[in-house]
Amino acid sequence: MTSVIPKGLGEQIRALAGGEVTSRALVEQALGRIAETQSTLNAFRRIRAEAALREAAEADRRLAAGERLPLLGVPLAVKDDTDVAGEPTAFGCPGDFPAKAEDGEAVRRLKAAGAVIVGKTNTPELGQWPFTEGPAFGDTRNPWNPGYTPGGSSGGAAAAVAAGLVPAALGSDGAGSVRIPAAWTHLVGIKPQRGRISTWPDIEAFNGITCNGPLARTVADAALLLHVATGNHEGELHRPEPVDVLSAVGRDPGRLRIALSFKTAFTGTSKRLDPVVRAAIVRLAERLAALGHEVVEAEPRYGLVGFSFLPRATAGLTEWSSRVPDPLLLDVRTRGAVRNGRLLGGAPLRWARSYEGPLRRHVGAIFQRFDVVLSPTTATPPLRIGAMAGLSGWRTDRAMIAACPYAWPWNVLGWPAMNVPAGFADPEHRTLPLGAQFLGPANSEPVLISLAAQLEADQRWYERWPQVSRPGPQ
């Protein structure tokens, strides 16, 4: 057995298959790292220590018998909006939630592939915000600099992967909730085509704008987790055509036409792109051009995409809030958003759904000239812990839109999008990660993944790790 336990998903799979390490050793390491960092990073809401060790022992037995599955014996985490049998699903909310009797379909598929789920990661209340803080669990912190947020709403999942607690995690993305924390923690994060990964027992999540997606340190690891988690329950609404994401990792993308975009969709609020973010995206565009791609500044025509997003998001909050045992315990901002959802859940929601087709044609016109859109994932570097604490609902919304105006339109469209690391806002200290996103048309995950893998081979961002215990400059 090796004395050095590998940290990457692919590395752990190969070490297990080769008999170089046991599942118990991997799971014990993961649980130990979680325990060591829980008081500082606070990545997890629920930790399945006893169950995970039992499952690791069973995985070792199966491995010793010669059985091989894609994730057999590997420790993973899932965001606390996805059901795990025997655990409550609180989605960041306070209260005494009952344990779930069954796994959600995505978790069922991960377990069927042999994964050991070590815990459920923190998320803000109902996944609303680009920070992972709340009265139910406290503040989840960024491994690169604990004075800052890892983003949200998959902030706990991102912190866990970035810190090396687990090699990969499943998050969810309803307005950038995989891509934003991936950007702010130096990870690869994929929002796949709507319906690619199941949201069952929900027939769809948040009226179609939310989907599950992987977070990992490398493109190959993210693609592998996406591949294994892909699939639907027969009761779900969305069933996209199959795509091959695994072979895309090693495939040359060819010479692509890439639109470099800094435009944001209309929101009626002020937004400003931080110069350090713009400079990072421009540098990335220059590297893509050096790799042989045609990169031209061009902008999607977003139209009134926000009017299709808001009713779907707020009505989704209202629906999910009905599962909260004591709604009076929720953040006052959450209660206000739930009230708005009741107002927007009738005719406005029906109109928002009907407008999706025209929006796809309008925004999608850019793909008549380009293969991929490159844009910032966020407008700012990571926010400080507590940056939006104590704000009213309206002021929180304005601050949230100002920091993260780029990701959410693709949730309305339901198309794939992918964050890749884009350097640091503080290159000397490397404690404030930045991200760029590749945006594609329907079912374009293979193109985005091939392009990201080519860029990763050039940039080698996976070689950089945070010093978890060092806060860095404040």
* 469 Cβ neighbours under 8 A, 6+ residues apart: 40
Q: Is 153 assigned a catalytic role?
A: yes
Please confirm, yes or no, whether 177 is among the known catalytic residues. Answer: yes
Partners of 211 in the beta sheet? 173
Q: How many CB atoms lie within 10 A of CB 61?
A: 11
Catalytic residue from among 7, 79, 120, 191: 79
Handedness of CA 250, 178, 31, 4 (dihedral sign): positive
Q: Which of 23, 154, 172, 177 is catalytic?
A: 177
Q: Which residues contact 117 (CB under 8 A, 6 or more apart)?
A: 48, 52, 55, 75, 76, 77, 78, 84, 107, 110, 111
Chain-centre distance of CA 332, in angstroms? 26
List 23, 153, 198, 321, catalytic entry: 153
Q: Does residue 441 have a cis peptide bond before it, meaning omega lies within 30 degrees of 0? A: no
User: Are 232 and 114 in contact, with CB atoms under 8 Å apart?
Assistant: no
What gap in Å lies between CA 345 and CA 338, rounded to an integer? 10
Contact 297, 259 (CB under 8 A): yes
CB 196 within 8 A of CB 210: no
DSSP state of 175: S
Q: How far apart are the first and last CA of the chain?
A: 41
Closest by CA to 160, choosing from 29, 34, 23, is: 34
Report the alpha-carbon distance of residue 277 to residue 335 in Å, rounded: 33
Cβ atoms within 10 Å, residue 430: 18
Per DSSP, what are the bridge partners of residue 215? 169, 189
- Beta-carbon count within 10 A of 103 CB: 22
Token pair, residue 42, equals 């606070």
Q: Can 111 be counted among the known catalytic residues? A: no
Q: Could you give the residue numbers annotated as active site? A: 79, 153, 177
